[in-house]
Amino acid sequence: FAGSFTQQEPLPEAAMRAAEAVLSSGRLHRYNTAPDALSEAARLEEAYAAWQGARYCLAVASGGQALQIALRAAGVEAGETVLTNAFTLAPVPGAVAAAGARPVFVETDETLRIDLQDLADKIAATGARRLLLSHMRGHVCDMDRLMAIADAAGVQVIEDCAHTMGARWNGVRSGNHGIAGCFSTQTYKHMNSGEGGLLTSDDPDLMARAIVMSGSYMLYERHGAAPEAARFADIRLTTPNMSARLDNLRAAVLLPQLEMLEENVERWNARYATVERGLAQAEAVATIRRPAQERKVGSSIQFRTPGFSAPACRALLAAAAARGVELKWFGAAEPQGFTSTHASWRYAEAQDLPRSDAIFATLFDMRLPLTFSLEDCETVAGILRECVAEVAAWAGTLEAGSLEAGAA
């Protein structure tokens, strides 16, 4: 297979024209607007709030900044415990640490979603008041049950939607269940501005603080989906400016992509379905169950090989790579690229997460860029099936060999 797992599609023509217009205006900073003009950043906030169905939206410099600002604007204090998923990406516990709080990880189940029993147990054990819920790799948990658990315990939920922009649970958009939703527009996510983030909320006080924190100086009235000016009166001078603005160039290239998002979700899901169908035929593979209430965005796919030892998992990585298929494995002792797990986040206290570790041990991940055709997806699934079968046969021989050696 010769396709590139990191090659995204070119930006649409409209994005290129919009970028040129911003470049030729020279007005790249979001507050550098002509009199009475609405900046591209403000227009993006307005459009994204409408699309998401949220009252307010703030454009920021990255998804990680959206998380960090959401935590701070929600009132996280130094030393506070913040619960978060054991299965997530490094910027998530990183945002908790940056806000001065202590991440405590909640176990992951076989569907790669947060373990709701462990969540309830850890709320009770730690007395935590906040959960930074990561919909890692787009797996949305039972949000009705999760919110019932959180609400009953008075726990505030902030959603990391880096992989669920466009996803829903029971018809409600991911990001609209908790007090705030945090999105990334980094190149590998669902809209591409290189770097960028969006924070949405219906809470006017949280959003007023977030806007001042993002570095609005006193120009918050020039935002696209902000609370009324009166909401800023009490907090404008007591909220620090943390400089995390999005610029007009990035906002301009995002606006036309928002119009294509629903269509792209369908395109991702068609690719996902093709690979999933192919993988389901491999005996040694456990595909990840997706509940009917979830409307996913299949921009990547995960699967497990429950019978495989660590050497067998490494052999699978190598066999797939030799045939051009780029897999990531979450079971390695050292992180490879984005596959880090709690054991490598050593600024956090060491924690026992046996259930998650057992899942990571045989968990594989693969990106599904829109530059792959459905035929490419068939090809990739076929290669993976063959590689899994080869490795399973090889591992079986080894095991039989060691049994014989033991008997002798």
Ligand X SMILES: *Cc1c(COP(=O)(O)O)cnc(C)c1O
For ligand X, the binding residues (CB under 6 A) are: 62-64, 88-89, 91-92, 134, 136, 160, 162-163, 184, 186, 197
Cα–Cα distance, 40 to 22 (Å, whole number): 8
How crowded is residue 192: how many other Cβ atoms within 10 Å of its Cβ?
Answer: 20
**b/e string for 330-355 if b means 16 or more Cβ within 10 A?**
bbbeeeeeebbbbeebeebeebebee
Q: How far is the CB of 361 from ligand X (least distance, A)?
A: 20
> Can you tell me whether residue 385 is helix, strand or coil?
helix
Residue 386 CA, chain-centre distance (Å), reads 30
Q: How far is the CB of 197 from ligand X (least distance, A)?
A: 5
Q: How far is the CB of 338 from ligand X (least distance, A)?
A: 7
How far, in Å, are 136, 220, 221, 246, 347 from residue 32 at the CA level? 36, 13, 14, 12, 39
Residue 281 CA, chain-centre distance (Å), reads 28
Longest dimension (CA), the chain: 88
Closer of 63 and 278 to ligand X (Cβ): 63
User: Taking Cα atoms as reference points, which of 224, 227, 248 lies closest to residue 42?
Assistant: 224
Closer of 33 and 184 to ligand X (Cβ): 184
Closer of 114 and 387 to ligand X (Cβ): 114
Closer of 112 and 381 to ligand X (Cβ): 112
Q: How far is the CB of 159 from ligand X (least distance, A)?
A: 10
Place of tokens 């994005």: 15
Closer of 47 and 96 to ligand X (Cβ): 96
Closer of 282 and 359 to ligand X (Cβ): 359
Contact in structure between 385 and 379 (CB atoms under 8 Å): no
Q: How far is the CB of 55 from ligand X (least distance, A)?
A: 23
60 by Cβ neighbours in 10 Å (0-12 / 13-18 / 19+) ranks as buried
Cα–Cα distance, 330 to 182 (Å, whole number): 24
DSSP code string of 285-327: -EEPP--TTEE---SEEEEE-TT--HHHHHHHHHHHHHTT---
Closer of 162 and 383 to ligand X (Cβ): 162
Closer of 163 and 250 to ligand X (Cβ): 163
Q: How far is the CB of 310 from ligand X (least distance, A)?
A: 25
Structure tokens at 112: 């790669």
DSSP code string of 226-237: ---GGGGTTTTT
Q: How far is the CB of 267 from ligand X (least distance, A)?
A: 20
Q: How far is the CB of 380 from ligand X (least distance, A)?
A: 21
Q: How far is the CB of 103 from ligand X (least distance, A)?
A: 13
Q: Which residue is nearest to ligand X (CB)?
A: 63
Closer of 217 and 338 to ligand X (Cβ): 338
Cα–Cα distance, 307 to 333 (Å, whole number): 19
